[in-house]
Amino acid sequence: MKDLKITTSQIAKICNVSQGTVDRALNNRPDIKAETKQKILEIARQYGYREYINTPNDKIEGQIGIIIFNLNNEYFSELITEMEYALRKAKLGATVMMTHYDKQYEIECIRNLYNMGVKGIVLCSVNNGTEFENYLKLFDIPIVAVGNRVKSLPYVGIDDFAAMSEMTEKVLNEKPQNIIYFSPALNYSDAYAQKKRYEGFLNVVGNKKHSVVTNIEDIKERYNEKTTIICSNDYYALKAYFKSSDVKVVGFDNIKAIDKYKIGIDSVGYSVSEIANAAVEIIMRNGKESVIVKHFIAEHTV
């Protein structure tokens, strides 16, 4: 979108007004006629005006956009916190937008962040496919995928397939009589990370007796046999843990609340700080390579 960039002096020339008048319109200042202001704003929108501000060295020198699903999962709040800290050291700020799994709104978020003048975007996407990738190519700023892969973008995250495979192997070694895989996210068609976790589970469980549940209402309060519920993230694991008695529950993401409140949920862990720093580094140098962060199994006993 390089052809859409325009300066205030160019807007002034197109509208046949002074640069000061353009400044008043763009910053909603007084002493400007309504029709003149409207004309200037229309031209600014038409040409995708983006304001670049030179600030002192001790202040923020730009913004990075962060697009996530929501804050229901502690992982995202921790990711934002770690990323904001890494950006602050680089004299950059963070502008966060949440899509709530709305594909069309995600596209609008990307466009809005670009028009706000962000220097790059960290994207946890619900969109995928050729059409979406072609859309991303319109933007001349670095974009890095976190959590969910987008083929055309550099990616930072863990190997979800391998991690869930390892967790499932651990569960099978404990010889449960009943295995339940609980993942409401399987209802989302483009939840890449969740799909890879499920594939990792299936890769190990094979023909062994198991069931797949996508609704917490289908989790029983009690089971007669020795049961383990494997959950595709810790948010789901907490729901299962507090609903069902006398079962073993394992999760994914190793959120801090598990250890803080001494909850007996084993989980797949990894360094969120490492993911945040790698994503920021890729944005800063416009890198193209992906970074896979190591995972581990965290055991929590009550």
Can you give the residue ranges of every domain in the chain? 2-46, 63-156, 160-270
- CATH 3.40.50.2300 is right for the domain spanning 160-270: yes
What average pLDDT does this structure show over 31-58? 76
* Confidence check: pLDDT of 256 > 70: yes
Q: Tell me: pLDDT of 302 over 90.
A: no
User: Residue 143 burial (CB < 10 Å; 0-12/13-18/19+)?
Assistant: buried
- CATH 3.20.20.10 for domain 2-46: no
- Checking if the pLDDT of 54 tops 50, the result is no
- 143-180 pLDDT, tens digit each: 999 989 999 999 999 999 999 999 999 999 999 999 99
pLDDT confidence band for 3 (50 / 70 / 90): very low
Band of residue 5 on the pLDDT scale cut at 50, 70, 90: low
Same-fold call for 2-46 versus 63-156: no
pTM of the model: 0.79
Average model confidence (pLDDT) across the chain: 92
Confidence of residue 1 (pLDDT cuts 50, 70, 90): very low
**CATH entry 2.40.70.10 includes domain 63-156:** no
Comparison of pLDDT for 275 and 188, the residue scoring more: 275
